């Protein structure tokens, strides 16, 4: 099968090539999939897209008109895909629901520790031969209360790691996991978690009901100096409200791997251009904000698993079977 791979990053191409049975032909495309670029899939039965591609109805219309019958997402999240439109157009869509919950949970902890122990600032100082540690005081993770919003695959790994640190873990999720309760995780409602936590970490999917789940109201509930970590999806956070709280010191630390307007910025080298996004530019001025460019998933193990699941879907479609990770029923 011919596969148009949009947003084909250098770090994933070898993994996709290694995972293919050899009967598929890749068309690697540097560009994001959008209504304007979708025509580049002409002649390919399958298009494969990444988390920041646009699979809205208008893009899917163009893909379908140029012969695309299958859409293989190289991501777990599918908030960027109009599944109703795909189903209407007869395009079968599959995602990679799980590739390494450890990758994302461990990056979440990396952000917490780097912010807490001011690792980036410490590294810069030492590189400048400044061996002073004034201003680098952190806090013990042991004994702190962490709110984990969303205890699915990734959130539950995070809870387990945090319990290992000796944190009190308050979980927010309509589905309670007995295995987490057995290690001392306590399920509470969102407001209780926000009020009690020293650290709030988001691992829920982005849906209409979770958009801006962190907003001026929920921030006001939080302790002064709280640490907020978002490694899930940018749209979960009202960034303007977060900036206001950073300015007053109400939010003491912010760690982001995702940002609401990241599409077209994250994953790209913009070092020679003028940043046009004033909200992101403001965020980057705070000394207590640490931003990574949507790399929480980026481990060798995760890339191997993403490639293997993506190509398993393509193999299944080629053989006239359904992919095990097909999403269209979500839209029915």
- Distance (Å, whole) CA 277 – CA 18: 37
Per-residue binder mask for ligand NAI (CB under 6 A), 133-172, x = binder: ----------------xxxxxxx----------------x
Q: Which of 22, 131, 132, 174 binds ligand NAI (CB under 6 A)?
A: 174
Rg of the Cα atoms in the chain: 21
The distance of closest approach from Cβ of residue 8 to ligand NAI in the complex, given in angstroms and rounded to an integer, is 17
How far apart CA 4 and CA 46 sit, in angstroms, is: 6
- 212 is annotated as an active-site residue: no
Residue 149 C-beta: closest distance to ligand NAI, Å: 5
Q: Min. distance of Cβ 38 from ligand NAI in angstroms?
A: 24
Nearer to ligand NAI, 11 or 139 (CB): 11
Nearer to ligand NAI, 69 or 292 (CB): 292
Q: Which two tokens stand for residue 59?
A: 């893009």
Residue 22: Cβ-neighbour burial (10 angstroms; 0-12, 13-18, 19+) = exposed
User: Coil, strand, or helix at residue 173?
Assistant: coil
Residue 92 annotated as catalytic? no
**Binding piece for ligand NAI, criterion CB under 6 A, among 134-142, 218-226, 294-302, 317-325:** 294-302
Tell me the number of residues near ligand NAI by CB under 6 A.
Answer: 28
Closer by beta carbon to ligand NAI, 17 or else 106: 106
Tell me if 197 sits within 8 A of 212, measured CB to CB.
no
Please tell me which residue in 12, 32, 107, 262 is annotated as part of the active site: 262
Rounded to 5 degrees, what are φ and ψ at 325? -115, 30
Per the listing, tokens 């919003």 go with: 149
For the CB of residue 296, give the shortest distance to ligand NAI in the complex, in Å: 4
Task: Please classify residue 297 by burial: count the beta carbons closer than 10 Å to its beta carbon, then call 0-12 exposed, 13-18 middle and 19+ buried.
Answer: buried
Q: Which of 9, 294, 326, 332 is catalytic?
A: 294
Q: Residue 76 interacts with ligand NAI (CB under 6 A)?
A: yes
In terms of DSSP H, where are the helices of 117-262?
A: 119-127, 153-165, 178-181, 190-196, 216-221, 239-248
Which residues have a Cβ under 8 Å from the Cβ of 20 and sit 6 or more positions away?
A: 26, 311, 314
Q: Does 104 bind ligand NAI (CB under 6 A)?
A: yes
Residues 9-68 that bind ligand NAI (CB under 6 A): none
Does the footprint of ligand NAI cover residue 211 (CB under 6 A)?
Answer: no
Q: Which of 60, 62, 193, 296 binds ligand NAI (CB under 6 A)?
A: 296
Question: Which residues lie below 8 Å from residue 87, measured CB to CB, with a gap of 6+?
Answer: 328, 331, 332
User: Cβ of residue 113: shortest distance to ligand NAI, in angstroms?
Assistant: 17
- Residue 163 falls in the annotated catalytic set: no
- Which of 84, 233, 321, 332 is catalytic? The answer is 233
Helices and strands per DSSP (H, E), number in the chain: 13, 12
CB of 32 to ligand NAI, least distance (A): 17
Which residues are part of the catalytic machinery?
A: 233, 262, 294
Q: Could you list the residues that contact ligand NAI (CB under 6 A)?
A: 76-77, 104, 149-155, 172-175, 203-206, 209-210, 231-233, 257-258, 294, 296-297
């Amino acid at each position: 099968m011919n596969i148009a791979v949009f947003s084909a990053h250098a770090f994933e191409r070898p993994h996709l090539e290694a995972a293919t049975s050899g009967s598929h032909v890749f068309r690697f495309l540097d560009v994001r999939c959008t209504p304007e670029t979708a025509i580049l899939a002409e002649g390919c039965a399958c298009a494969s897209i990444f988390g920041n591609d646009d699979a809205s109805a208008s893009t899917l219309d163009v893909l379908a008109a140029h012969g695309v019958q299958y859409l293989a997402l190289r991501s777990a999240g599918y908030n960027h895909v109009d599944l109703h439109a795909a189903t209407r157009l007869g395009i079968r869509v599959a995602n990679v629901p799980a590739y390494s919950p450890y990758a994302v949970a461990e990056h979440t902890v990396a952000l917490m520790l780097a912010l807490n122990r001011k690792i980036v600032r410490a590294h810069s100082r030492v590189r400048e031969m400044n061996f002073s540690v004034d201003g680098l005081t952190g806090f013990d993770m042991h004994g702190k209360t962490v709110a984990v919003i969303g205890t699915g695959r990734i959130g539950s790994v995070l809870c387990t790691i945090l319990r290992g640190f000796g944190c009190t873990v308050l979980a927010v999720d309509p589905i309670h996991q007995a295995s987490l309760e057995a290690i001392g995780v306590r399920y509470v409602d969102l407001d209780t978690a926000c009020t009690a936590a020293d650290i709030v970490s988001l691992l829920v999917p982005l849906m209409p009901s979770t958009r801006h789940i962190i907003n001026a109201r929920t921030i006001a509930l939080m302790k002064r100096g709280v640490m907020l970590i978002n490694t899930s999806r940018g749209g979960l956070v009202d960034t303007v409200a977060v900036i206001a709280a950073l300015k007053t010191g109400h939010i003491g630390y912010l760690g982001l791997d995702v940002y609401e307007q990241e599409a077209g910025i994250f994953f790209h080298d913009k070092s020679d251009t003028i940043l046009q996004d004033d909200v992101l530019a403001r965020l980057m001025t705070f000394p207590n904000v640490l931003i990574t460019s949507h790399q929480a998933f980026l481990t060798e193990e995760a890339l191997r698993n993403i490639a293997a699941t993506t190509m398993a879907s393509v193999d299944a479609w080629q053989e006239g079977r359904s992919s095990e990770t097909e999403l269209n029923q979500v839209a029915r």
